[in-house]
Amino acid sequence: MIIEKLIWIIGWITSYSLHKSRKMASHIVGYPRIGPKRELKFALESFWDGKSSAEDLQHVAADLRCSIWKQMASAGIKYIPSNTFSYYDQVLDTTAMLGAVPERYLFPGGEIEFDTYFSMVRGNASVPAMEMTKWFDTNYHFIVPELGPNTKFSYSSHKAVSEYKEAKALGIDTVPVFIGPVTYLLLSKPAKGVEKSFPLLSLLGNILPIYKEVIAELKAAGASWIQFDEPILVLDLDSHQLAAFSKSYSELKSSFSGLNVLMETYFADVPAEAYKTITSLNGISGYGFDLVRGTNTLDVIKSMGFPSGKYLFAGVVDGRNIWANDLAASINTLQALEAVVGKDKLVVSTSCSLMHTAVDLVNETKLDSEIKSWLAFAAQKVVEVNELAKALAGDKDEAFFSANAAAHASRKSSPRVTNDEVQKAASALKDSNHSRATNVSARLDAQQKKLKLPILPTTTLGSFPQTMELRRVRREYKANKITEEEYVKAIKEEINEVVKLQEELDIDVLVHGEPERNDMVEYFGEQLSGFAFTVNGWVQSYGSRCVKPPIIYGDVSRPKAMTVFWSSMAQNMTSRPMKGMLTGPVTILNWSFVRNDQPRSETCYQIALAIKKEVEDLEAAGVQVIQIDEAALREGLPLRKSEQSVYLDWAVHSFRITNCSVKDTTQIHTHMCYSNFNDIIHSIIDMDADVISIENSRSNEKLLTVFREGVKYGAGIGPGVYDIHSPRIPSTEEITDRINKMLAVLEAKILWVNPDCGLKTRKYAEVKPALTNMVAAAKLLRTQLASAE
């Protein structure tokens, strides 16, 4: 009876007729742009490989955009965003709009073409790519603008206007969306050769005229609303930074005549001072707030008031997770806001762009029916937004709300969510800090006696290129088209080839290449209890890179060993040390859709216990080097400084739990990438790993500044020597120069030589020469160091 009820709920949600919805006061901040089956990803890769033309890529993008606009219009959404579709990321699109192309790309001016646009992203044969980092506290990445006093700005991309006109031709009036000028500048960095103290906000006067040009064109095209995303407002801004908002929007005010302007914020609360600053701005018609992660925003609005006559865009539908909205709770929040701002000025919205969620639950034909009833992907969230707006307007769909309440009750009472044994074990962890018994210096000495590694040891960070043949083997095994024996044979052959290649290249510490894994988090989640998986739940990480985040719906445990079979097999193929490769608990947490019915720290401790058992089994199997990746540790750092220490305490503790019981001779590595690590360097030291490899080259050695400033690091460390997200092959001389910069601030005895990250996104034609040059650079410097002694 319960199952029949759940099937009815799912049927109601997925087959609900969008076409009957009326346009109420509803708004979507942004929408996934990859397509339900990764259409954009494949179009980009085909274009980059020279298999299709720019026109082919543009055609795929136009089809996706138009489909998204039509879907939202059919669902009854009133304020539909445009200019949120990007070939890579929205910050890079703003750089293109402003013509702020670094000189090394030789941009001749005019309209930016794909060659220049993608060279900034991927580099080319002559010059490296721009830095890439995380978009606030998400797993989405953006290309960091490089600016300085000599940057030449010009209106160089008319994308916002052309997309508005494209939607209008379909009969859909959209809200063009921009990264606001203050957020853009504060997310930028001084260009190479520019003083680090250069005041980026001094460039406001250079970029605001271009914003004015775009606004003028949109007004001429008939736009009635525009949206400025200013998420930087949720950070701890100083008075000078807040004053930049007053300056910017006062300057733009005359351009706003005849337009409605929405200022959108997301990812956290807007602090009281920032709230006071922006709500006093003239020329702004409405403000958007994240009421999901911004748990105190409602109180701020009630206590400080809201400007009369302005719209409040209430982000009550979660744009960062995939759980069905609690419609009853959202109605209560909306009614409380309605009492403050008035019925006609309240707009129901998502908390942020839906690009951080999967596209459509309808595509999930294999997902467990009970769990499926608890979920809402982007398409379902669009419906939730409009149903809330209708209910607020007195047109409540009782059946829809009843189905939602039943789904929430089902999730709350389901026995599959809770495991008392796991809860008890995780709770007991808080009684110890789980430090290793010996200090890192003594451990490194013990490990060196056993491993006998040369100075400047070389290694890679896990994955090797994922070929089409390898993907075919995994796909056919999952579809039961080949036997387990055939699958193991194919993967074993691939591992053997990767091991032989590394031996030929003379790499010191090897990896097995991870041919059995499509994704570092998905692989582990598939083998842990408490996780569910989708078929088409793809989310864009950057450009063509897409991931399928697992869904953590219940308590987590490890039923059996996950990697020991493959790691032991690989170690038996070589006499050199072979790393066991694991994903750490914090990264698994931050790269999953996490249950929202208990603190994230509790879930993380559960995952840590599961990984601890795997580490112990690897050690028992004779694996002497174990890498526990925590690529996403920095990503989960709360945006407000007052909340960061609590997160770092449990995140670092979770990592230490995983390896606290290993012998001194077992070497524990970890890896981090594509975030700003300088401000958490002391927490990284507290993780107490024996060796850490960390992204460094793409950010132009930014990591090294903390060591120049006096931070002492006693464990092994491998700042990346080349960027693996670019097809560009670095020369031996370039890598040697980079290592020499490291040796200027780090002792040779603790320095490792490795790429920035894993190699799965590259081709062997790029990997082989790059690693050849990396090993040659390490050997050259070993000789020089020996001569100096």
> What DSSP character marks residue 362?
G
Question: Is position 757 annotated in a ligand binding site?
Answer: yes
Instruction: Give the Cα separation of 595 and 318 in Å (integer).
Output: 13
Q: At what angle do helices 159-168 and 204-221 cross, to 10 degrees?
A: 20
Count of residues for the chain? Answer: 789
Instruction: Give the Cα separation of 517 and 491 in Å (integer).
Output: 10
Strand runs labelled E in 689-729: 691-694, 716-719
Question: Is position 323 annotated in a ligand binding site?
Answer: no
Question: Is position 629 annotated in a ligand binding site?
Answer: yes
Instruction: Give the Cα separation of 600 and 180 in Å (integer).
Output: 31
Angle at 87 (CA atoms; ends 86, 92), nearest 5 degrees: 70
Per the DSSP assignment, residues forming a β-bridge with 551 are 532, 593
As to burial, measured by CB atoms within 10 angstroms (0-12 exposed, 13-18 middle, 19+ buried), residue 782 is middle
β 529-532/551-557 pair status: antiparallel
Instruction: Give the Cα separation of 333 and 340 in Å (integer).
Output: 11
Closest Cα to residue 630, out of 714, 521, 529? 521
Question: Is residue 725 annotated as part of the catalytic site, yes or no?
Answer: yes
Question: Is position 695 annotated in a ligand binding site?
Answer: yes
Closest Cα to residue 502, out of 446, 573, 408? 573
Question: Is position 671 annotated in a ligand binding site?
Answer: yes
Question: Is position 158 annotated in a ligand binding site?
Answer: no
Question: Is position 604 annotated in a ligand binding site?
Answer: no
Is 549 in a helix, a strand, or coil? Answer: coil
Per the DSSP assignment, residues forming a β-bridge with 261 are 226
Question: Is position 591 annotated in a ligand binding site?
Answer: yes
Question: Is position 682 annotated in a ligand binding site?
Answer: yes
As to burial, measured by CB atoms within 10 angstroms (0-12 exposed, 13-18 middle, 19+ buried), residue 501 is middle
Is 583 in a helix, a strand, or coil? Answer: strand
- Whether 530 contacts 554, CB under 8 Å: yes
Question: Is position 545 annotated in a ligand binding site?
Answer: yes
Burial 386-424 (b: 16+ CB within 10 A, else e): bbbbbbbeeeebeebbebbebbbebbeeeeebebeebee
- Whether 758 contacts 745, CB under 8 Å: no
Question: Is position 163 annotated in a ligand binding site?
Answer: no
- Whether 429 contacts 435, CB under 8 Å: no
Element (H, E) at 782: helix 764-788
> What DSSP character marks residue 508?
S
Instruction: Give the Cα separation of 378 and 320 in Å (integer).
Output: 10
Give me the sign of the Cα torsion angle 287, 293, 296, 302: positive
As to burial, measured by CB atoms within 10 angstroms (0-12 exposed, 13-18 middle, 19+ buried), residue 776 is middle
Angle at 481 (CA atoms; ends 464, 534), nearest 5 degrees: 65
3-state SS of 247-272 is HHHHHHHHHHCCCEEEEECCCCCCCH
Report the chain's C-alpha Rg in angstroms.
26
Token readout for 737 is 């120069």
- Whether 351 contacts 357, CB under 8 Å: no
Q: Just list the catalytic residues.
A: 725
Annotated binding-site positions for L-homocysteine:
629
Annotated binding-site positions for L-methionine:
514, 629
Annotated binding-site positions for 5-methyltetrahydropteroyltri-L-glutamate:
41, 139, 545-546, 591
Annotated binding-site positions:
41, 139, 514, 545-546, 591, 629, 671, 673, 682, 686, 695, 757
